[in-house]
Every structure is written in C-alpha cells, then in structure tokens.
Structure 1
Amino acid sequence: MIRRFSLLPTAMLLAGLATPALADGTLTVTSWGGAYTKSQEKTYFEPFAKQTGVKVLQDEWDGSTAKLKGMVETKQVTWDIVDVEPGHALQGCDENWLEKIDYSKLGGKAAFIDGAAMDCAVATIVFGTIYAYDAAKFPNGGPTTMADLFDTKKFPGPRALRKSPKTTLEFALIADGVAPKDVYTVLGTPEGVDRAFKKLDTIKKDVKVWWTAGAQPPQLLADGEVVMTTAWNGRIYDAVKNSGKNFKIVWDGQGMDFNLWAEPVGSKNKAEADKFIAFTMNPDVMAQQSRYISYGPTLKAAIAKVPAEILPDLPTAPENTKTAFVVSSEFWADHDEELTERFNTWLAK
C-alpha cells in the first residue's frame, strides 16, 4: 500500500532545526518511500536543510502520472520536486508538465553518464530491477538465471512480481530464451508481446502477490509469503545489510534504469527546487548515496568517489552487467498505455 502525504517527522525536525535560524522557505520532495527515500534523506534532504535552512517536506507516489499531470493542469501543484523514471521524463517533456533542466548550472550534460541527462529530468542513481530469493528456502542451491524465476518445478514456491508490464515482459522474454540485447526488438512486434504473455501464463498461478511499492518485495520475503520476487536491487541490499536477512540477488537479465529529479510546471517553490537539484549534483554529495543503498551515481566525477568495497553490490559492477539490458524509456513512452491495458486485462482473467 502506497502511503499518501506521508510526512516523515525526523527529516522535518532536522530541517526545522537547521541553520540559519530563519529558513528561506519550504520544499516538498516526492519519492518512492522505504530504504530508497531513507538514503535520500541522509544524502540530500538533511544536509540540504542544514546548509540552506529550507524545510524539506516529503510525499510518496506510485509512479502514476494522473495525479502529477492533474496538479499541473489544475494549477494546484503541491510537489516541487518529484523522483521520476525516464518514461515520466519523456512524457512530461512532450506534454509540457515538467520543467526543462538548465544543465549550464549543473556542469553540462557531458558531466553525466549516457542516458542520465534528460531534457526535463536529471538522474541521480542507476538501479537494477532484479529478482531475489530467500536462501533459507533453497538449502541445496538457489536459482541463478532468469529462467529459474519461471521454473516452479525446479524451484517451487510462491512468487511476487511487479504489477506492471515494464520489466515484467522483458523478464518473461529473457526467461524464454531471448538475448537481453534483443529484448526490445522482439517486444516491439505483436508476436513478441504474445510470446511474453504466453511465458507469463506459465507462472501466473504461482504469483501470490503483484507488488506496487518498492518496500514490499523484501517484506514479502521476510514474512515468508513468497520464496522469490522481482525487486529493485537497493531494497534487497538494504534488507541484507541493515536487517541481516539471508536474501540473494540474481543479477542475470537485470534491467538497468535511472531515477531522476524533475520539477512540475507551476511549482510555488521553484527557486528552492533549483537550489536543491544543484546541491545534489555535487559529486562529493552524490557519491554518499551508495553508502546507504546500492545504487550507482550518475555523475562521472561521483563514480570515482564510491568506496571500493561497495562497488561489487552496485548494478553497474562489471560482473553484474554481463547479461543486463538498459530499460528503454523510448519503448515504454511509445507502448506503455497499450501494454498496461493488455497487462491489466490479462491479470483480471
């Protein structure tokens, strides 16, 4: 369950006690909750509030564009910065509900890794959509390939998958033998879409939970509700590192993607939003986030500052990218509506 209008008292208190004593204003940052937002609090929200005196308020969302677009269209914008996915950034630019990013104030687009500097959003992290399992459930050896996620005979037990066609369909094709580099070529055809859903048919009865919030997968594993689940890699890493869970990530076929800052058109606090984004684009600041969650930075200068002992757990580690694909924001911008409709119809059957 997504928590709406969830104001986190600790961050607010720290922001309110920040110096200077007279705050310059307030800023509402909307993100995804859980371990990811906690990493943002430590890396960005609290230090920014302390340095500037701007009070940082928080909200959460589930990635549905309806509310964000509605705010802009009705001129009732209450979010100043939103943590978005590339598809949101493309759509928001095309439909003019996201502000253009002024890269002249951020060191230029060349300062970022490929794909991170979009016209209407600037990425802070590279994350991987992977699947993970509870090692205690497989004492004789756990799954190692994407095909194993779909193999309920060899690896029995309930699964959880994201309630979205994005990455779910790609995973189905990879499990069915499509090379990661060819996944969008295949998915771009009617036959390829049929093939993905046919593969999903083989596992549908074993999917106990279709998750919608990033905090759900590690909790589902911890509660024993499922034996394996798709997830964002940082959430699993957090459960292992900070909660001592015996979970294992399977990197085979991971979908690499970005999370980005965007500013809705019509924000009442645009000056503070601009200051905040500039603050987060300091390499010394950005590099700190990988200490709290295993996502990779997007500034080239920040990558060099990540401690060596953290690198193997990042989605960008060479060993973890051998069979990876980069999630295509262009593909999903073109096909999200039709594939979501088909996905929801398939789920309801």
Structure 2
Amino acid sequence: MLAIYYFFLLLKPFVCFVYFNFEGRGCLQKPFLIQAKRLGGLEKANTRSRGTQSSEQLKKRAPLAHGTVSPPLPVPSHINRPPYVGTNDVPEIASEIQMHDKESIVHMKAACELAARVLEYAGTLVKPSVTTDEIDKAVHKMIIDAGGYPSPLGYGGFPKSVCTSVNECMCHGIPDSRKLQDGDIINIDVTVYLNGYHGDTSKTFLCGEVDEPSKLLVKVTEECMLRAISACKHGTSFKKIGRRISEHAEKHGFGVVERFVGHGVGRIFHSEPVIYHQRNNMPGQMVAGQTFTIEPILSMGSIECDMWGDGWTAVTTDGSLAAQFEHTILITKTGAEILTKC
C-alpha cells in the first residue's frame, strides 16, 4: 500500500516512497506513494487522445464523496511496530537495495503470505452498502490476530490500517463511513509488518453489478502487472517493466499513471529500486535475491491526479475510473517468484 513515488522534491519510501512534488503540479505526494520526477530517461508513456470512455462513465457516476473517518484502531503493545510509528514525518526512501538470504526469504514469504490472505479476505467483504471503514476494521483485526502490524497505520500520519481507493481514486484512499455502491470498483491495498518484514499487495475488486468497460479496465490492469512480472529475472533491465505495461495498456485504450511507482520492500517499507510503470530509459538491472513491488495504475481517461485536502487521496483530474494491482516479487536466476500470491 503506498507504493508509488515521484522523483522531485522529496523521495518517499514508497517509491514508492519517497515523496516528490511533481514539477510543481497539483498532486502532492504523501508517504505511501512514490512519485518520479520526469528525468531525461523518462518518456511520456501515453500519447493517445483520452476522454471518450471517461466522459461516458462520468454520466453514470456521482463524484467520489467524503465520509467520516473514525479514529485509528489500537494495536496491542506486544506487537512489534515499524520504526516510523510514533512520528508524523514521512520516511525517506532508503537508498539500499534490499537483498535476501535464505533466512530473510523465509521471513519475507511469511509477511507476504499473510498480506495475501488478508487481501483475499478483504475482497470477500466488498458488496453494496458495506463501508470502507468496515473493511479497515476487518483487515486490522485479521492482521493483529496473526501477530502482525498493519504497515500503513501511522506511516507519515496515515490514520487507518489499509488503503481503500474507490472508482476515480488512483490510490491511498482513506477508509471512512462512505457506503460502497452497486457498480463501484475498489482497490484494497494491504501491507503487513511481520517479524521485521513488510509484505505489500493490492487488488481491484468489483462491487455488485459492474459495467463492461469497468470490468475491462480491471482485467487489463491485472494483465499489465502479470505481463511485467513475467519479464522479470536476474539480469533483466528494469525498463522492460514499463515497456510491457505500456504496450498492453495502450492496446486497450487505457492510460498508465506515471506519478506513482513501485519500490523495494522488505525490512524497510520503501526503498530502491524505484519501479516505473511507463516507458522509460532508466538504467539498472534486476539481481537475484532482491524484492520489490510492481503496482501499475491504469485510467480510462486522465493520468493526472488531484489531491484531496486529507493529503493522501489521489483522484483522476477528470473523474474517470482508475484501477490498480500490486504484487511483491522475489527475483531469481530464472524468473520472479510472486510472494503475495494466494
């Protein structure tokens, strides 16, 4: 959760997760996301004309509404907390590449397995009339009952235990009293901290009877993530991830959101490498033993975002729908192992 970032003013650990102000534009990043400054090696991923699909969808849907945010939920004192808990400062993205030996891989797999189970359970709760706050409570309880800590809680002041991003919300939506409606789509972003390691994953779920264009957006977004993962192995250039995602998204007429990125994850929530989901010429190759997230966001319309006053909720500028999927993967000599796969 919180896994996207921008290189500009700040680095944020999500970078996912270094924050950056994107060239002074209106979408200010908070800790869970990582934004990437458009450097010489970053290209514009999407050149198609947008607007047709999103305008049709806007006629059917009311804008995302604010709900009441309940107080943060308590965590038993015996549960180990990440080092950033207790401060509202957003951690800077760590420059180290998180490498793993046999022992640490065991811990990573345990954290990721728990995150995957929690996410799948959260998805069973998605139905009309359920509030995102209810989903947050269920996620929180499942994580602490397993002896873990919900990584988003207290990260840079984030007030809840999971991110719930509905319809036009790109990411980092704060759970609240708003009830899900028939036809909504919702991304649930779960990260758990277990035995000193973070496992990070997200998925976009369908709520009730969802129209075909929305279903296609969700389907293609997951396919983009999986196509990118299939290209990963020791020695592969990171830029291949963005190429795989962009090619498939554009084939179906969707835009790839550039402001949020994937990130290294492990003992530290957000570290290098920064994973760009759009076409780019950034240097760097994957190394066996490293773990990072791939978490593309696709939009029916604008790939630019506006930030709500809560400082976290990022929504498409034109109100068009957005979907996201995320896995934590381990690079091996022959490919990539999905650690957050149920």
TM-score normalised by L of structure 1 = 0.26
TM-score normalised by L of structure 2 = 0.27
- Greater helix share, 1 or 2? 1
